Amino acid sequence: MTAERWAQLKTVFTAALERPPGERARFLQQTCGDDAELLQEVQSLLESHDSTQTMREPAAGPSAALEGRRIGAYQLLRQIGRGGMATVYLAARSDEQFNKRVAVKIVNVFGSEELVRRFRNERQTLAALDHPNIVKLLDGGTTAEGLPYLVMDYVEGAPIDDYADARRLTIHERLTLFLTVCAAVHYAHRNLVVHRDLKPANILVTSGGAVKLLDFGIAKLLNPELQPETVVTRAAARPMTPEYASPEQVRGEHVTVAADVYSLGVILYDLLAGRLPLKFERESPLEWERVVCEQDPLPPSAAAAEAGAEICAARGEVNAERLSRRLAGDLDNIVLMALRKEPQRRYASVDHFAEDIRRFLANLPVAARRATFGYRARKFIRRHAAAVAVASAVTVSLIGAAAISMYEARVASRERAAAERRFNDLHQLADSFLFEFDRAIRTLPGSTPARKLVVEKALEYLNRLSAETGADPSLERDLARAYLRVGDIQGNPVGPNLGDLRGWQKSAEKSREIAERLVKQQPGNADDIRVLADADYDIAQAQLFSGKPKDAVANLNQAIALLEPLAERNAGNLDQQLALSACYETLGDASGHASVANLGQPGQALENYRKAVAILQRARGAHPGDMEPLRRLAIEESKIGDILGFQKDFHGAVEHHRQALKMFQTVAEARPDNAQAQRELRYEEQRLGAYLWDSGSRGEGFALLRKSLAIAEKLSAADPANAQFKDDLAVSLGSLGEAEAESGDRNRAIADVRRAIGIAEEVAAADPANRQRKAQLAAGLSRFANLLDAAGQKDEAQRARRRAQALQRELAH
């Protein structure tokens, strides 16, 4: 490839890309002429380009690979787009003679019952929209996996801005095209449907020049508020496309037709001036909110004054000055009117907006006016209410004096605003460290020390902020949550941790102190009560794992007393129900589960597990699409089985473990790619297998032990470096080996246990500080030595025994 050839390629490629896909072939034929090599090269690059087209947020959703699947009456052909919450496929009706192409949009989240219901209602409204410029919603439903989907007409076209640039539409032509868009949006508004996510990508123009609006009302269906498992961070309030979102949308406030007026204003701004009205310095919800709500856009004419040659040329203007002059005046006023921060100060409807554009095109006076001084002053006062309040304490009658104090207020408020912004930024940063960042690195092996560092840093920030600013409840609440997070990393054995149980308890106690103070200040605040209960729960867990079940029970009862009223009031809130059931489960553990030091009250334990079961069954009924209640039910059943086994009720134990296994299987089938689900299934298979084996059903027990090993092998093969998977594999091999030895198959037993020991050695070597692994290895080696002895393999037996002794000596230090 020479630079010259590349430049030629670039020219043709770029030009082709600007044309709608349908026209490219003809264009290339014409342009490349006899140069077959050039033609082939550009075509191959275009293909590659199309394959790289992904939207803003690629998300590995459950619908990642559905191509070729049949959904309802439609055969999915190929993925054509992907957003944060949905994936779009090109599809064809598979049961009809005529082959109609459609687009199928599949939501990437499992729908709660509520989401699915909302979806159904909304679909009926949308299906009623019948307008030549609105893409028709044809059908919808839920896939076998429970993913809601919509079927729409498939449109081949270019986004309106690309179309206008590629066709080099003049300002006049752009306005006319835009009026078609307005008419369609206004039609939808009259049918009480607000789009909520208008942007060029949703406004396509076909090669024939027909405008087609996509995704009407879909944004509402995908509203994060309706999602299960929404994490309470500011990010949850993120609008789908911040560049086109109105202030009320980024603030998460009530949305009306005025939001569509605003988004249309942004689109028109870009169509005219060639750039967006607002620019974000960073991608963060706080930044979006700050810019969208506070920053005033330049008039389009001022923005156009800096437009590059291409922008001007695409609008048929010779230079930026000419373009700017064309936009100055009425068009500036029209666009800025649509972009006003306060919904009630924008055009009252899209039709009013369109009417003003029509008046402009007809050289009539327009309704939009430059914002008046009074308007700007009011806005200023509202934006800087606190500072102005100070200024207005000095009542002034002279206009000059007023102007001066206004100026001073402006300076004061600017400093205050800067401080506030800094505070918010830091708060936000700490927040994101604690939640987003921590979640992102949590599953990385070996990330525990890094997580601790990160969370401690966040804690430091929050502490310093808290000292600087005094009591700010939201900050204090985050501080309390941060301590819990630090505690998890220090010692919560549920996830990777540093094994510091004392540290865990101390952090939870600090969190409790803060939360208690907050609850005293504002007794009814549910968030604070929840943090307090979480702290109690964590303290209890730390106590339980440190061998103090009695203390744990006291704290768990406190947590339950806090959570019960919350759970009752928010019967539909899954998270609250799960939290309450977790308290009962842990109470059961403390009462009598053999996995921890307990009070020796198995009857009490059963009672508590059953309370958890009752809560979870209700939650399962209310959220059938959500697997979490079922997963937790499975755990309760398994624990009930354990207690019964402990009480020598083997029949009951097997019964409950069978229940548990069935539930774990359902969960694992619904989450085939989820390693945790697979691990839990493996654990239960082994558990039930061992019970069956011990109670004499050796055939079935053995089969389950083998199944359990198969899962362990599969997981470990998929991620060979994962220490947890290796642990599982060693455990599975070990118990299978023991069963084999008991049934007299000594050779196989030795082979399996030998492999288990090898794996355990590997894991222990990689994690030398972990005493538990060493202890387990030593125990395994002793059993292995006995097995070898019985088989007469004295040398290897002796080696194993020596190794076990060496490990025990290490542990004794």
Partner 1 sequence: MPASGHRITQLLGEVREGKPGSTDELIPLLYDELRRLAACYLRRERAGHTLQPTALVNEAYLRLVEQSDPPWNGRAHFLGIAARAMRQVLVDHARRKGAQRRGGARPQLTLDEAIVYSNEQPGDLLAVDELLNRLAEFDPQQARVVELRIFGGLTIEETAEALDISPATVKRDWAMAKAWLTREIGKS
Return the ∠ at Cα 793 (arms to 790 and 798), rounded to 5°.
95
Find tokens 């264009």 and name the residue: 27
Q: Tell which one of 30, 34, 36, 52 touches partner 1 (CB under 8 A).
A: 52
Number of residues that bind partner 1 (CB under 8 A): 34
The least distance separating partner 1 from the CB of residue 758, rounded to whole angstroms, comes to 19
H or E, element range at 502: helix 501-521
The pair of three-digit structure tokens given for residue 688, joined into one six-digit string = 């039930």
**Residues pairing with 75 in the sheet:** 70, 92
The pair of three-digit structure tokens given for residue 583, joined into one six-digit string = 């308290």
CB 134 within 8 A of CB 213: yes
Quick one: DSSP state of residue 242?
G
Indicate whether 13 belongs to the interface with partner 1 (CB under 8 A).
yes
The Cα–Cα gap between 295 and 404 comes to 23
Q: Tell which one of 721, 765, 790, 811 touches partner 1 (CB under 8 A).
A: 721
Indicate whether 310 belongs to the interface with partner 1 (CB under 8 A).
yes
The least distance separating partner 1 from the CB of residue 723, rounded to whole angstroms, comes to 9
The least distance separating partner 1 from the CB of residue 428, rounded to whole angstroms, comes to 13
Indicate whether 609 belongs to the interface with partner 1 (CB under 8 A).
no
Q: By C-beta, is 12 or 731 nearer to partner 1? A: 12
Build a one-symbol-per-residue string for 374-413: x at contacts with partner 1 by CB under 8 A, - elsewhere: ----------------------------------------
Indicate whether 308 belongs to the interface with partner 1 (CB under 8 A).
yes
Indicate whether 311 belongs to the interface with partner 1 (CB under 8 A).
yes
Q: CA distances (Å), 322 to each of 138, 168, 303, 312, 794, in order?
A: 46, 16, 12, 9, 97
The least distance separating partner 1 from the CB of residue 451, rounded to whole angstroms, comes to 12
Build a one-symbol-per-residue string for 437-456: x at contacts with partner 1 by CB under 8 A, - elsewhere: -------xxx---x------
Report the Cα–Cα distance between both ends of the chain, in Å, rounded: 67
Indicate whether 48 belongs to the interface with partner 1 (CB under 8 A).
yes
The least distance separating partner 1 from the CB of residue 206, rounded to whole angstroms, comes to 22
Three-state DSSP at 101 gives strand
Q: By C-beta, is 47 or 342 nearer to partner 1? A: 47
Q: By C-beta, is 191 or 722 nearer to partner 1? A: 722
Sequence-ordered strand ranges (E) for 455-590: none
The Cα–Cα gap between 625 and 323 comes to 55
CB 196 within 8 A of CB 249: yes
The least distance separating partner 1 from the CB of residue 287, rounded to whole angstroms, comes to 12
Q: By C-beta, is 152 or 320 nearer to partner 1? A: 320
**Residues pairing with 204 in the sheet:** 159, 212
The least distance separating partner 1 from the CB of residue 553, rounded to whole angstroms, comes to 39
The least distance separating partner 1 from the CB of residue 124, rounded to whole angstroms, comes to 37
Find tokens 């496929």 and name the residue: 89
Q: What type of residue sits at position 57?
A: E
Q: What type of residue sits at position 714?
A: K
Q: Tell which one of 30, 34, 36, 51 touches partner 1 (CB under 8 A).
A: 51
Build a one-symbol-per-residue string for 217-236: x at contacts with partner 1 by CB under 8 A, - elsewhere: --------------------
Alpha helices by DSSP H, listed for 305-432, are 309-314, 320-327, 330-338, 350-361, 373-383, 385-393, 399-432
Indicate whether 58 belongs to the interface with partner 1 (CB under 8 A).
yes
Q: By C-beta, is 446 or 603 nearer to partner 1? A: 446
Q: By C-beta, is 58 or 132 nearer to partner 1? A: 58
Residues in the chain: 813
- Phi first, then psi, for residue 373 (nearest 5°) are -60, -40
The Cα–Cα gap between 24 and 468 comes to 61
Q: Tell which one of 279, 502, 550, 771 touches partner 1 (CB under 8 A).
A: 279
Indicate whether 1 belongs to the interface with partner 1 (CB under 8 A).
yes
CB atoms within 10 A of CB 661: 22
The Cα–Cα gap between 451 and 320 comes to 51
- Phi first, then psi, for residue 217 (nearest 5°) are 70, 0
Q: By C-beta, is 321 or 700 nearer to partner 1? A: 321
Return the ∠ at Cα 63 (arms to 57 and 65), rounded to 5°.
100
The least distance separating partner 1 from the CB of residue 464, rounded to whole angstroms, comes to 14
Build a one-symbol-per-residue string for 281-300: x at contacts with partner 1 by CB under 8 A, - elsewhere: x-------------------
The least distance separating partner 1 from the CB of residue 163, rounded to whole angstroms, comes to 15
Q: By C-beta, is 79 or 543 nearer to partner 1? A: 79
Indicate whether 78 belongs to the interface with partner 1 (CB under 8 A).
no
Q: Tell which one of 33, 35, 49, 550 touches partner 1 (CB under 8 A).
A: 49
For every residue of 723-779, DSSP letters joined together read HHHHHHHHHHHHHHHHHHHHTT-HHHHHHHHHHHHHHHHHHHHH-TT-HHHHHHHHH
The least distance separating partner 1 from the CB of residue 625, rounded to whole angstroms, comes to 30
Indicate whether 587 belongs to the interface with partner 1 (CB under 8 A).
no
Q: Tell which one of 176, 233, 666, 722 touches partner 1 (CB under 8 A).
A: 722
Indicate whether 45 belongs to the interface with partner 1 (CB under 8 A).
yes
**Judged by CB under 8 A, which stretch of 95-103, 294-302, 330-338, 714-722 contacts partner 1?**
714-722
> How much of the chain is helix, strand and coil, in % rounded to 5?
65, 5, 25
Indicate whether 768 belongs to the interface with partner 1 (CB under 8 A).
no
User: Closest Cα partner for 38 from 8, 78, 71?
Assistant: 8
Give the sign of the dihedral formed by CA 570, CA 571, CA 574, CA 575: positive
Q: Tell which one of 28, 32, 38, 46 touches partner 1 (CB under 8 A).
A: 46
Indicate whether 719 belongs to the interface with partner 1 (CB under 8 A).
yes
Q: Tell which one of 3, 36, 398, 399 touches partner 1 (CB under 8 A).
A: 3
The residues of the shown chain that bind partner 1, judged by CB under 8 A, are 1-3, 5-7, 10, 13-14, 17, 44-49, 51-52, 54, 58, 275, 279, 281, 308, 310-311, 444-446, 450, 719-722
